[in-house]
C-alpha cells in the first residue's frame, strides 16, 4: 500500500473511531440524564398510592407532597395492582399484578430511576396467588404471601404461607420462609433491622402473631407465638424486640379492641391501652425512634366520635396526644417516613354521599395537615 493510501485509510478509521466514541458518549450522557431526571430524589418528599379507589382499575401513582400537579402514573396493568411496597432506599417498588383471566397475582419489580419493570414470580402459571410484597431493610429480600389454587377436578385453595424472594440471585430464587408446611399465615412485616419478620397466623384454631427470628441468640427460639384474636399482625418495633398488636375483650355493652405490647425476649405482655381509658384502639404503627406509636383511637365518653382518630402514643406509659382529629372522618391506614418527621394516613368522610377515601399527610415539625389526593388509598412513602 502506498503512503498516500495508508494516510487516507488511517484518516477514515480515525474519523470512524471518533464518530463511534461520540455516539457512545451521547448515549451515555442521555442515559445519565434520563436517570437523573427520573430519579425520585429530585422531587423531594414523595408518596406512592393506589388510584382510583372507585371508578377504574387500580394502578400505582406517585406524587411529591408539595406538588400535586406532578402526580404521575407508574403502572398500567389491565387487571390492576393488588398491593405494593417501596424499597428502603426509595429506588424500587415491588407490586402484585392481578391477571385479568384468573384474578391471581404475580409479583413485579419497578425501578423508579429507569422506569423499567421485570417479573419476579411465575405464580399464575403455577396456579398460585402471590401478593403483599414487603422489602427487607437492605432491599435484597422480599417477603410475600403465596397461596396455592387447585384448578383440577376438586377446586379450592390452600393455606396462605409466607415466602421469601432473593433479589441477589440470577435468576431470582424463591422459597418458603420455613419448610414446616404447618407454618401458615399472612401480612408479613419486617423489623427495621431486617433480622425479624412477623405475620398473623392463619391457624383458625389458634389465632395470633408468629414472630420469626433469622439469627436467634443462644437459647432463644427461632419462632415465637403471640396469642391474639383481632386478626391483625400489629406493628413490630424497629429493633425487633417488641410487638404492639390489637386484641379484643368483652365489655358489658360490646366487644372492644385495645392495644397490648409484647416483650419478645421474655414473652411478657402488658396492656398498652390504659384499662381506665374509655376508648377503643384499633391499629398502631411504631415511630422510627422505637419510643412512640401512631395509633387509631375512638373515645367512648364525651369525646366520642363515630370514626377512629389519630393519636401519638408513648410506649412507656400509654399517654397520647392528638395527631389528626376530625369528627367528620374516620382514619385508617398510616405510614411513617424513615426519619419520622412525616406521617401519611388515609381518611374517609362519614355521612357524605359518594364519599371516597382520601390520602393526607402531617408534617410533624410544623403540625400542618394537608390533603394529597381524593379517591386513592394504600399510601406509602417513596422518599422522606
What pLDDT, on the 0 to 100 scale, is given for residue 256? 87
From residue 299, alpha-carbon distances to 145, 258, 259, 306, 307 in Å are: 35, 12, 14, 9, 9
Residue 176 CB neighbour total at 10 angstroms = 13
Per-residue confidence of the chain (384 residues) as pLDDT tens digits?
A: 555 555 555 555 455 555 545 555 555 544 444 444 455 555 689 999 999 999 999 999 999 999 989 999 999 999 999 999 999 999 999 999 999 999 999 999 999 999 999 999 999 999 999 999 999 988 999 999 999 997 665 557 889 999 999 999 988 999 999 999 889 999 999 999 899 999 999 787 888 999 999 988 888 899 999 999 888 999 999 999 999 999 988 877 778 899 999 999 889 999 999 998 999 999 999 999 999 999 999 999 999 999 999 999 999 999 999 999 999 999 999 999 999 999 999 999 999 999 999 999 999 999 999 999 999 999 999 988
The Cα 50–Cα 7 span in angstroms is 64
Contacts of 188 (CB under 8 A, 6+ apart): 132, 134, 143, 144, 145, 162, 197, 198, 199, 233
Contact 379, 49 (CB under 8 A): yes
What pLDDT, on the 0 to 100 scale, is given for residue 206? 86
Contact 350, 336 (CB under 8 A): no
pTM of the model: 0.86
The Cα 39–Cα 91 span in angstroms is 8
Q: Name the CA radius of gyration of the chain, rounded.
A: 25
The Cα 209–Cα 230 span in angstroms is 10
Contact 298, 280 (CB under 8 A): yes
What pLDDT, on the 0 to 100 scale, is given for residue 8? 53
Instruction: Give the single-character DSSP code of 178.
Output: -
Q: Kindly state the cell numbers that stand for 235.
A: 406493628
What pLDDT, on the 0 to 100 scale, is given for residue 41? 56
What pLDDT, on the 0 to 100 scale, is given for residue 1? 53
Work out the angle at residue 134's Cα, subtended by the Cα atoms of residues 379 and 204, and round it to the nearest 5 degrees: 100
Peptide linkage before 49 cis (omega within 30 of 0): no
What pLDDT, on the 0 to 100 scale, is given for residue 30? 44
Amino acid at each position: 500500500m502506498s503512503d498516500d493510501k495508508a494516510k487516507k485509510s488511517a484518516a477514515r478509521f480515525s474519523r470512524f473511531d471518533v464518530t463511534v466514541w461520540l455516539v457512545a458518549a451521547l448515549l451515555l450522557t442521555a442515559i445519565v440524564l434520563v436517570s437523573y431526571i427520573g430519579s425520585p430524589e429530585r422531587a423531594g418528599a414523595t408518596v406512592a398510592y393506589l388510584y382510583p379507589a372507585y371508578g377504574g382499575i387500580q394502578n400505582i401513582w406517585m406524587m411529591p407532597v408539595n406538588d400535586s400537579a406532578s402526580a404521575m402514573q407508574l403502572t398500567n396493568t389491565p387487571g390492576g395492582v393488588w398491593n405494593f411496597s417501596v424499597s428502603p432506599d426509595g429506588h424500587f417498588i415491588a407490586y402484585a399484578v392481578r391477571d385479568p383471566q384468573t384474578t391471581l397475582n404475580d409479583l413485579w419489580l419497578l425501578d423508579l430511576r429507569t422506569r423499567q419493570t421485570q417479573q419476579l414470580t411465575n405464580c399464575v402459571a403455577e396456579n398460585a396467588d402471590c401478593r403483599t410484597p414487603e422489602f427487607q431493610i437492605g432491599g435484597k429480600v422480599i417477603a410475600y404471601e403465596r397461596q396455592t389454587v387447585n384448578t383440577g377436578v376438586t377446586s379450592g385453595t390452600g393455606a396462605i404461607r409466607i415466602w421469601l424472594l432473593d433479589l441477589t440471585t440470577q435468576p431470582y430464587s424463591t422459597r418458603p420462609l420455613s419448610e414446616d408446611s404447618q407454618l401458615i399465615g399472612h401480612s408479613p412485616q419486617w423489623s427495621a433491622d431486617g433480622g425479624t419478620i412477623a405475620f398473623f397466623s392463619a391457624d383458625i384454631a389458634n389465632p395470633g402473631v408468629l414472630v420469626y427470628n433469622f439469627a436467634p441468640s443462644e437459647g432463644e427460639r427461632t419462632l415465637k407465638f403471640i396469642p391474639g384474636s383481632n386478626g391483625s399482625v400489629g406493628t413490630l418495633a424497629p429493633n425487633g424486640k417488641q410487638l404492639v398488636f390489637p386484641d379484643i375483650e368483652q365489655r358489658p355493652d360490646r366487644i372492644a379492641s385495645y392495644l397490648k405490647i409484647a416483650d419478645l425476649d421474655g414473652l411478657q405482655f402488658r396492656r398498652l391501652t390504659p384499662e381506665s381509658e374509655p376508648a377503643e384502639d384499633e391499629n398502631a404503627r411504631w415511630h422510627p425512634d422505637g419510643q412512640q406509636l401512631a395509633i387509631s383511637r375512638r373515645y367512648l365518653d364525651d369525646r366520642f366520635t363515630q370514626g377512629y382518630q389519630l393519636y401519638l402514643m408513648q410506649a412507656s406509659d400509654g399517654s397520647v396526644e392528638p395527631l389528626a382529629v376530625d369528627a367528620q372522618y374516620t382514619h385508617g391506614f398510616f405510614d411513617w417516613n424513615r426519619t419520622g418527621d412525616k406521617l401519611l394516613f388515609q381518611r374517609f368522610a362519614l355521612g357524605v354521599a359518594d364519599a371516597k377515601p382520601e390520602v393526607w399527610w402531617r408534617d410533624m415539625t410544623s403540625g400542618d395537615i394537608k390533603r394529597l389526593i381524593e379517591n386513592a388509598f394504600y399510601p406509602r412513602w417513596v422518599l422522606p
